[in-house]
């Protein structure tokens, strides 16, 4: 049996999600914009899903805009808020260095469109310091984007504090909450943010569906042109089955958040302590006290992480590297680099992210297999520092 420790990449849809999506595809096939019965039936399914997603994040239904995923939600947040702010001559965008590419590449696109941009450094534990943000803000800052929980190391940012600082200077604050929703409580009002991105497939929902929460009163220019769906903010006929699946996943996440969080944290700690005890030359990356419960990122000195990933895959165990492989070149993770790790350490780091199917037996099997695999790789590449 294969073991899956890559829940931050994606999660398997819950059986209840799949059932609801099948039923919605069959029974709620109408166009939600149609006035007849079939259209209104689909519209009712959308409304139910919207209120479930709103319930998970402490929002009102009318503030939730469905998108094609976290990437589109990030794009809509940054591009939409920047376009509105530019009308008032605010043309400066700030993001943290450890943001997902959906944010970082959008910031680059805004730079090409004439915005000034600042990418803020992190401290060694992967936390963005409030003083660092304070120093970067200007009267021209339009939008600040700082993710809630990081996908690679799991660190949780002091969003409420950062947001208050940005608001003092009149900037709109966006947080990418794709990796925190479903893992820790996310209350958008308590965080104080203006915009927050979510993705269904990170919380046992389907791929290709997400949401942007837009605080009531915040103005945003749509990124796509088209019809009047989603209160004129996101045109296009809604993905009804996908959104229904997202709603069911949100309800499940809300119901099992507390219990599952504690269960997974215990497993993650067992895994982490087991690795540190059994495999010499290992270190945990990122603040251990301020992380989502399911994630640990561990460096294995002298081991090339891609090779470890492949060796574990051959043993039937799925993990992830902190590195992105682009056009045949192994780039060290921008997150680990932003935390000040050397390229070597960044390239020897593995992310283990746990979820609903994992048990103590899974962790123990991993711990049985890992030391010998690491030792073998080290013996093959003794020159790596």
Q: Identify the CA nearest to 192 among candidates 128, 249, 142, 144.
A: 144
Cα distance between residue 73 and residue 65, in whole Å: 9
Q: Which is nearer to ligand PLP, 79 or 100 (CB)?
A: 100
Q: Which is nearer to ligand PLP, 191 or 373 (CB)?
A: 191
For tokens 């004129």, name the residue. 232
Give residues in contact with ligand PLP (CB under 6 A).
69-71, 74, 100, 102, 147, 151, 176, 178-179, 199, 201, 210
Tell me if 103 sits within 8 A of 176, measured CB to CB. yes
Which position's Cβ is nearest ligand PLP? 70
The catalytic residue among 111, 325, 372, 380 is 325
Catalytic annotation on 325?
Answer: yes
Q: Considering the complex, what minimum distance in angstroms separates the CB of residue 350 from ligand PLP?
A: 17
Residues contacting 56, CB < 8 A, separation 6+: 181, 182, 186, 250, 251, 253, 254
Q: Which is nearer to ligand PLP, 12 or 39 (CB)?
A: 12
Q: Which is nearer to ligand PLP, 178 or 257 (CB)?
A: 178
Alpha-carbon separation of residue 249 from 17, 171, 198, 205, 292 (angstroms): 6, 32, 12, 5, 19
Q: Considering the complex, what minimum distance in angstroms separates the CB of residue 281 from ligand PLP?
A: 28
Cα distance between residue 369 and residue 377, in whole Å: 13
Q: Are strands 317-318 and 3-4 parallel, antiparallel or unpaired?
A: parallel
Over the range 286-304, which residues count as b (16 or more CB within 10 Å of their CB) and which as e?
A: bbeeebbbbbbbbbbbbbb
Residue 114: count other Cβ atoms within 10 Å of its Cβ: 8
Tell me if 293 sits within 8 A of 184, measured CB to CB. yes
E strand spans, the chain: 3-4, 64-67, 92-96, 116-120, 141-145, 172-176, 195-199, 210-214, 282-284, 295-300, 317-318, 320-321, 324-326, 329-331, 349-353
> How far is C-alpha 219 from the chain's CA centre?
24
Name the residues annotated as catalytic. Answer: 325
């Amino acid at each position: 049996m294969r073991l899956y420790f890559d829940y931050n990449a994606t999660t398997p849809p819950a059986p209840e999600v799949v059932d609801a999506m099948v039923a919605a595809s069959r029974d709620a096939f109408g166009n939600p914009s149609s006035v007849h019965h079939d259209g209104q039936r689909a519209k009712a399914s959308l409304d139910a899903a919207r209120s479930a997603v709103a319930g998970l994040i402490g929002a009102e239904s009318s503030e939730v805009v469905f998108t094609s995923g976290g990437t589109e939600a990030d794009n809509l947040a940054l591009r939409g808020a920047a376009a509105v702010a530019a009308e008032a001559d605010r043309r400066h965008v700030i993001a943290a260095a450890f943001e997902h590419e959906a944010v970082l590449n959008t910031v680059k696109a805004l730079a090409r469109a004439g915005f000034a941009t600042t990418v803020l450094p992190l401290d060694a534990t992967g936390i963005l310091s409030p003083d660092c943000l304070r120093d970067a803000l200007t009267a021209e800052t339009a939008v600040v984007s700082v993710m809630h929980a990081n996908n690679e190391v799991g660190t949780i940012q002091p969003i409420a504090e950062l947001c208050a600082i940005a608001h003092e200077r009149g900037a709109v604050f966006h947080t990418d909450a794709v990796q925190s929703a479903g893992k820790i409580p996310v209350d958008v009002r308590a965080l104080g943010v203006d915009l927050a991105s979510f993705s269904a497939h990170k919380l046992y929902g389907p791929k290709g569906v997400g949401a942007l929460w837009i605080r009531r009163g915040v103005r945003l220019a749509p990124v796509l042109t088209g019809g009047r769906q989603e209160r004129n903010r996101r045109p296009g006929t809604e993905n009804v089955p996908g959104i229904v699946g997202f709603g069911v996943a949100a309800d499940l996440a809300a119901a099992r958040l507390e219990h599952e969080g504690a269960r997974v944290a215990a497993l993650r700690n067992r895994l982490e302590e087991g690795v540190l005890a059994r495999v010499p030359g290992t270190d945990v990356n990122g603040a251990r006290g301020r992380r989502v419960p399911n994630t640990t990122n561990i460096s294995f000195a002298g081991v090339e992480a891609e090779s470890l990933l492949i060796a574990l895959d051959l043993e039937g165990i799925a993990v992830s590297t902190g590195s992105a492989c682009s056009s045949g070149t192994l780039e060290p993770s921008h997150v680990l680099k932003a935390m000040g790790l050397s390229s070597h350490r960044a390239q020897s780091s593995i992310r283990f992210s746990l979820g609903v199917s994992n048990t103590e037996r899974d962790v123990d099997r991993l711990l049985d297999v890992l030391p010998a695999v690491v030792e073998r790789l080290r013996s093959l590449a003794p020159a790596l520092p």
